[in-house]
């Protein structure tokens, strides 16, 4: 039986970058770092409940960790999951 996550555990943090700012202004799409075990319906429900908005679509990406060179050899950054959430045109989020 899978463990049920709370809404604040599903949505970890907004991803603020140049590309996510562009998506927010052009397509009304916002990027979030989410739990690896979260699926699209759970992400949609958490965003709608936490931010009180209407979500049209959710797209997810598993971001692979990158190898980084260090003094003692090579290490890999942590892998994480990103969700791109497209909102209804009447809704906006003030994350930036």
Chain centre to alpha carbon of residue 28:
14
Bridge partners of 86, per DSSP, are: 29, 57
Q: Is the model's pLDDT at 1 over the cut of 80?
A: no
Q: Is the model's pLDDT at 2 over the cut of 90?
A: no
What are 37-87's pLDDT values in tens digits?
999 999 999 999 999 999 999 999 999 999 999 999 999 999 999 999 999
Rounded (5°) CA angle 56-60-66:
150
């Amino acid at each position: 039986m899978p463990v049920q996550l709370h809404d604040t555990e599903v949505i970890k943090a907004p991803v603020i970058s140049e590309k996510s700012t562009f998506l927010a202004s052009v397509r009304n799409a916002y990027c979030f770092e989410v739990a690896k075990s979260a699926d699209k319906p759970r992400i949609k429900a958490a965003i709608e409940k936490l931010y009180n908005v209407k979500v049209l679509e959710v797209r997810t990406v598993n971001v692979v960790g990158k190898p980084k060179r260090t003094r003692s050899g090579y290490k890999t950054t942590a892998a994480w999951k990103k969700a791109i959430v497209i909102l209804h045109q009447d809704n906006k989020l003030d994350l930036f």
